[in-house]
Amino acid sequence: MAKFNLKLRKSRHQPMTAEGAPGFAREPRLELFLLGVSNMVGEDTFYEGSTTRDARFRDLVAAVAVADPDWFGRFVPWLRSGAMMRSASVVAALEGARAQVAAGIAGSRAVVNSALQRADEPGEALAYWLARHGRALPKPVKRGIADAAVRLYTERSLLKYDSVGSQVRFGDVIDLTHPTAKDDRQGDLFRHALDRRHRRDNPLPSSLRMLAARDALMAMPVEQRRAVTDPAVLGAAGMTWEALAGWRQNALDATAWESVIPTMGYLALLRNLRNFDQVGVSDTVAETVAAKLSDPGAVATSRVLPMRFLSAYNAAPSLRWAYPLEKALQHALTNVPALDGRTLVLIDTSGSMRSPFSRDGSLLCWDAATVFGLALAARAQAATVVSFSNASRVFPPMAGESVLAGVRRFTDDGYFLGMGTDTEKAVRKYFDGHDRVVILTDEQARWHSSANVAAAVPTEVPVYTWNLAGYRLGHAPTTANRHTFGGLSDAAFAMIPLIEAGSHDRWPF
């Protein structure tokens, strides 16, 4: 079955990119794939407002969910667990279910369930549906959300995510979807969640020991709380680092951080390295954090995307984190292929690549492109790395340099160029008999006299474009030996040798 190399939709007129170059429309599944892996729902991008972008996403979801239910049923779980796109996968699952129900297509229940992987997400899904489509819940949506609630609702998750500030709380999900508890203890938890939501003063069931431990801590006088520093006591009460500051009613000092670090998750540790340094967490405790961050098993389990390590590296002022973060990044990139031959890697550092790549804005598209471009080059037998916009510069390799150190040099030495996107000019200038070309870009190429970017490379040489923004039009047609992808993950890059080996299974799911 054809995957990426599909016939383009015909148009009477040649469409244009946002910068006036010839633009090439994509087959709907590929357009949805590219938009899905780059769509921070509700966020503007450089060339496309959030309202337009989100509407395009919903329309694509509805069309593809009906036209190819099997593909869609594999895409949504991968979007959530493989590409780690939370909001986009929830919206895709719900809008796809709505379209499939209208078309009489079964299977939506499992897709909805698969998109919800964190305990606050059943409530988020329900809030989205109620705001957009009202209180009438189709059975697949209702049952899919209920399945996720049974899988995800625990005492710890209720303490962490059942916030009074949420529009839809755990009790609302239980009220509206009627999940069947998997055992008596979860049944007690469901009843207590309803009591919490409706402010009923019923006694706490004896089976809910973590909630009882939290209640005991909350009953302590404020002036006594700072003396509670035993990680076991705090852990038994499900006390997260976010909750600890509110409970103590003061900012966390070194002792407080050290009391909660043993129970913190991988991503929470990664996000708080600057805080650990600012309060003076001891070197002994820091060593335990560093060991966890650089443990290959912990990296694999965390599913943290490589860009997070760059964000942490930029934020943490202490050199004691640099080597553990470099090791962690290397572990996260174990599936980046070791490419043979000569590879030309082109990193788009034009002005539009300053669009946010992460929701919090701590990483931009050109940051993500640089991390993966340098990682790919580090793993290649021979690579030429080029930063391009209107102008372009070769980024010279340094023997033994780590990826994160290379990113820092890329920044310090002025390789983020700004200006426009003259992709074809850079390809023509630097292609010199390479075995493949990899372009990391938003594809918004500037107008140029030639037909398209891929025409600058002989047809027998594969060109791989990674689109970081998911815009509708691309800078080249998707044909034999011309491949366009989205989502900067090790699984995505692993498709390069699969394609070159002649594999036809070109989706990463």
pLDDT of 82 reads 78
> For residue 496, is it within any domain?
no
State the alpha helices, DSSP H only, in 280-321. Answer: 283-293, 296-302, 306-315
In angstroms, rounded to a whole number, what is the distance separating the alpha carbons of residues 441 and 346? 8
Residues 65 and 116 in one domain: yes
Residues 173 and 282 in one domain: no
**18: Cβ contacts below 8 Å, ≥ 6 apart:** 46, 47, 352, 444, 471
CB 40 within 8 A of CB 23: no
Residues 264 and 201 in one domain: no
Residues 122 and 174 in one domain: yes
Residues 190 and 106 in one domain: yes
Residues 322 and 186 in one domain: no
Q: Which of 301, 331, 361 is the endpoint of a domain? A: 331
Residues 69 and 168 in one domain: yes
Residues 191 and 86 in one domain: yes
pLDDT of 433 reads 95
Residue 271 has which token pair? 């996000």
**461: Cβ contacts below 8 Å, ≥ 6 apart:** 431, 434, 435, 436, 437, 481
Residues 200 and 234 in one domain: no
**Rounded to a whole number, what is the largest CA-CA distance in the chain?**
76
DSSP 7-38: PPPP-SS--B-TTBSB-B---HHHHHHHHHTT
For the chain, 509 residues long, give each residue's pLDDT as a single digit of tens: 232 222 334 344 445 444 444 444 567 887 787 677 655 444 433 334 467 778 989 999 999 999 999 999 999 998 898 777 888 899 999 999 999 999 999 999 999 999 999 999 999 999 999 999 999 999 999 999 999 999 999 999 999 999 988 899 999 999 999 999 999 999 999 999 999 999 999 999 999 999 999 999 999 999 999 999 999 999 999 999 999 999 999 899 999 999 999 999 999 999 999 999 999 999 999 999 999 999 999 998 887 777 788 888 888 868 899 889 989 988 887 767 788 999 999 999 988 788 777 666 667 888 888 988 998 898 899 999 999 998 999 999 998 888 888 988 998 999 988 888 788 889 999 999 999 999 998 776 655 534 467 678 898 898 888 877 544 444 555 566 777 776 666 556 666 775 676 554 567 78
> For residue 293, is it within any domain?
yes
In angstroms, rounded to a whole number, what is the distance separating the alpha carbons of residues 160 and 156? 6
Helices (H) and strands (E) in the chain, counts: 26, 6
Residues 130 and 255 in one domain: no
pLDDT of 362 reads 67
Number of domains in the chain: 2
pLDDT of 215 reads 96
Domain that includes residue 146, residue range = 24-207
User: Nearest Cα to 202, choosing from 192, 212, 214, 211?
Assistant: 192
Residues 127 and 267 in one domain: no
